[in-house]
Structure 1
Amino acid sequence: MADAYPSVAEVAAAASAFARSHPGLCALREIGRSREGRPLRVLTVGRTGAGRRNVLVVAGPHSDERIGPATALKLAGRVAADPLLHARAGAAWHFLLCLDPDGTIRSEAGPAVRRTPAEHFRHAYRPPADEQPEWAPSIRPADDQLPESRALVDLIDELRPFLQCSLHGNDLGGSWIQLTRDIPGLAEPLGKLSAERDVPVQTGTYDALYWPSSGPGVYVMPAPGERAQFESLPEDVNRSTWIRPHRYGGMTALFEVPMWASRKVADTAPHPDPARAMAGLAALLRRQSDRTGVLLDRVRPLLPDPGSPAARPLLRIAAELAGICRDVADDWDRLHPSPVPLTLAHLSALDIAARRISLRVTGVLLRLLDGLPGPAEARVRASCEQQLTRWAGELEAGHHLAWVPVTDQVGLQSETVLAAFRLLNEG
Structure 2
Amino acid sequence: MTSAMADAYPSVAEVAAAASAFARFRPGLCALRQIGRSREGRPLHLLTVGRGRRSVLVVAGPHSDERIGAATALRLAERVAADPWLHARADARWHFLLCLDPDGTARSEQGPAVRRTPAEHFRHSYRPPAEEQPEWAPSIRAADDQLPESQALVDVIDELEPFLQCSLHGNDLGGSWIQLTRDVPGLAEPLGKLSAERDVPVQTGTYDAMYWTVSGPGVYVMPEPGEPTQFASLPEDVNRSTWVRPHRYGGMTALFEVPMWASRKVADTEPHPDPARALAQLGALLRHQSDRARLLLAQVRDTLPGRPSDSELPPLLRLAEGLAAICPQVAADWEALHPSPVPLTRAHLAALDIAARRISLRAAGTLLRLLDGLPPALPGAPAARIACEAQLAAWAAELTAGHDLAWIPVPEQVDLQAESVLAAFRLLTD
User: TM-score normalised by the shorter chain: which range applies?
Assistant: over 0.9
Amino acid at match of 2:335: D
Flag the 1:13–1:383 CA change in 2: closer, same or farther, 3 A. Answer: same
State the Cα distance separating 1:194 from its structure 2 match. 0.3
State the Cα distance separating 1:307 from its structure 2 match. 8.5
Query: Which consecutive residues of structure 2, in runs of 5 or more, have no partner in the other structure?
Result: none
Amino acid at match of 1:320: G
Partner residue in 2 for 1:163: 164
Partner residue in 2 for 1:340: 342
Q: Provide the C-alpha distance between the structure 1 equivalents of 2:186 and 2:158, rounded to a whole number of angstroms.
A: 28
Q: Tell whether 2:6 aligns with 1:5.
A: no
Contact 1:311/1:368 (8 A) holds in 2? no
- Residues 232-251 of structure 1: pairs in structure 2 closer than 5 A: 232-251=233-252
Q: Provide the C-alpha distance between the structure 2 equivalents of 1:72 and 1:304, rounded to a whole number of angstroms.
A: 44
Partner residue in 2 for 1:231: 232
Partner residue in 2 for 1:330: 332
State the Cα distance separating 1:359 from its structure 2 match. 0.1
Partner residue in 2 for 1:304: 305
Q: Provide the C-alpha distance between the structure 1 equivalents of 2:70 and 2:33, rounded to a whole number of angstroms.
A: 16
Contact 1:292/1:358 (8 A) holds in 2? yes
Q: Provide the C-alpha distance between the structure 2 equivalents of 1:278 and 1:230, rounded to a whole number of angstroms.
A: 14
Other structure's SS at 1:133 match: coil
Q: Provide the C-alpha distance between the structure 2 equivalents of 1:383 and 1:169, rounded to a whole number of angstroms.
A: 29
- Residues 122-201 of structure 1: pairs in structure 2 closer than 5 A: 122-201=123-202
Amino acid at match of 1:353: A
Flag the 1:352–1:310 CA change in 2: closer, same or farther, 3 A. Answer: farther
Partner residue in 2 for 1:19: 23
How far does the alpha carbon of each residue in 1:302-321 deviate from its partner, in whole angstroms, 9 at most, with x for none? 12376899972211210110
Q: Provide the C-alpha distance between the structure 2 equivalents of 1:275 and 1:115, rounded to a whole number of angstroms.
A: 35
Partner residue in 2 for 1:368: 370
Partner residue in 2 for 1:356: 358
Amino acid at match of 1:414: A
How far does the alpha carbon of each residue in 1:294-350 deviate from its partner, in whole angstroms, 9 at most, with x for none? 100110121237689997221121011010001101101111111111000000000
Flag the 1:237–1:56 CA change in 2: closer, same or farther, 3 A. Answer: same
Flag the 1:75–1:160 CA change in 2: closer, same or farther, 3 A. Answer: same
Q: Provide the C-alpha distance between the structure 1 equivalents of 2:239 and 2:363, rounded to a whole number of angstroms.
A: 28
Partner residue in 1 for 2:117: 116
Partner residue in 2 for 1:66: 67
How far does the alpha carbon of each residue in 1:132-169 deviate from its partner, in whole angstroms, 9 at most, with x for none? 00100011111110000000000000000000000000
Q: Provide the C-alpha distance between the structure 2 equivalents of 1:303 and 1:43, rounded to a whole number of angstroms.
A: 44
Partner residue in 2 for 1:39: 43
Q: Provide the C-alpha distance between the structure 1 equivalents of 2:115 and 2:101, rounded to a whole number of angstroms.
A: 22
Amino acid at match of 1:373: P
Report the aligned-residue RMSD: 1.4
Other structure's SS at 1:243 match: helix
Partner residue in 2 for 1:412: 416
State the Cα distance separating 1:102 from its structure 2 match. 0.2
How far does the alpha carbon of each residue in 1:174-220 deviate from its partner, in whole angstroms, 9 at most, with x for none? 00000000000000000000001100000000010000101000000
How far does the alpha carbon of each residue in 1:45-88 deviate from its partner, in whole angstroms, 9 at most, with x for none? 0015xxx1000000000000000000000000000000000000
How far does the alpha carbon of each residue in 1:240-286 deviate from its partner, in whole angstroms, 9 at most, with x for none? 00000000000000000000000000000000000000000000000
Q: Provide the C-alpha distance between the structure 2 equivalents of 1:133 and 1:307, rounded to a whole number of angstroms.
A: 28
Partner residue in 2 for 1:388: 392
How far does the alpha carbon of each residue in 1:25-49 deviate from its partner, in whole angstroms, 9 at most, with x for none? 000000000000000000000015x
State the Cα distance separating 1:372 from its structure 2 match. 2.9
Task: Tell me whether 121-130 or 375-384 shows the greater mean CA deviation.
Answer: 375-384
Q: Provide the C-alpha distance between the structure 2 equivalents of 1:216 and 1:186, rounded to a whole number of angstroms.
A: 9
Partner residue in 2 for 1:95: 96
Other structure's SS at 1:302 match: coil
Q: Provide the C-alpha distance between the structure 1 equivalents of 2:20 and 2:421, rounded to a whole number of angstroms.
A: 23
TM-score, length-normalised on structure 2?
0.97
- Residues 208-287 of structure 1: pairs in structure 2 closer than 5 A: 208-287=209-288
TM-score, length-normalised on structure 1?
0.97
Q: Provide the C-alpha distance between the structure 2 equivalents of 1:139 and 1:274, rounded to a whole number of angstroms.
A: 32
Contact 2:9/2:410 (8 A) holds in 1? yes
Q: Provide the C-alpha distance between the structure 1 equivalents of 2:353 and 2:51, rounded to a whole number of angstroms.
A: 47
Contact 1:285/1:354 (8 A) holds in 2? yes
Q: Provide the C-alpha distance between the structure 1 equivalents of 2:14 and 2:312, rounded to a whole number of angstroms.
A: 25
Task: Tell me whether 331-340 or 6-15 shows the greater mean CA deviation.
Answer: 331-340
Deviation above 6 Å: which 4+ runs of structure 1? 307-311
Contact 1:268/1:344 (8 A) holds in 2? yes
Amino acid at match of 1:361: A
Q: Provide the C-alpha distance between the structure 2 equivalents of 1:349 and 1:247, rounded to a whole number of angstroms.
A: 33
Amino acid at match of 1:421: F
Size of the alignment, in residue pairs? 423
Q: Provide the C-alpha distance between the structure 2 equivalents of 1:218 and 1:312, rounded to a whole number of angstroms.
A: 40
Other structure's SS at 1:47 match: coil
Other structure's SS at 2:254 match: strand
Other structure's SS at 2:230 match: coil
Contact 1:58/1:165 (8 A) holds in 2? yes
Q: Provide the C-alpha distance between the structure 1 equivalents of 2:208 and 2:322, rounded to a whole number of angstroms.
A: 18
Query: Which consecutive residues of structure 1, in runs of 5 or more, have no partner in the other structure?
Result: none
Contact 1:176/1:202 (8 A) holds in 2? yes
Q: Provide the C-alpha distance between the structure 2 equivalents of 1:122 and 1:97, rounded to a whole number of angstroms.
A: 25
Q: Provide the C-alpha distance between the structure 1 equivalents of 2:194 and 2:304, rounded to a whole number of angstroms.
A: 48
Q: Provide the C-alpha distance between the structure 1 equivalents of 2:233 and 2:412, rounded to a whole number of angstroms.
A: 33
Q: Provide the C-alpha distance between the structure 1 equivalents of 2:34 and 2:275, rounded to a whole number of angstroms.
A: 50
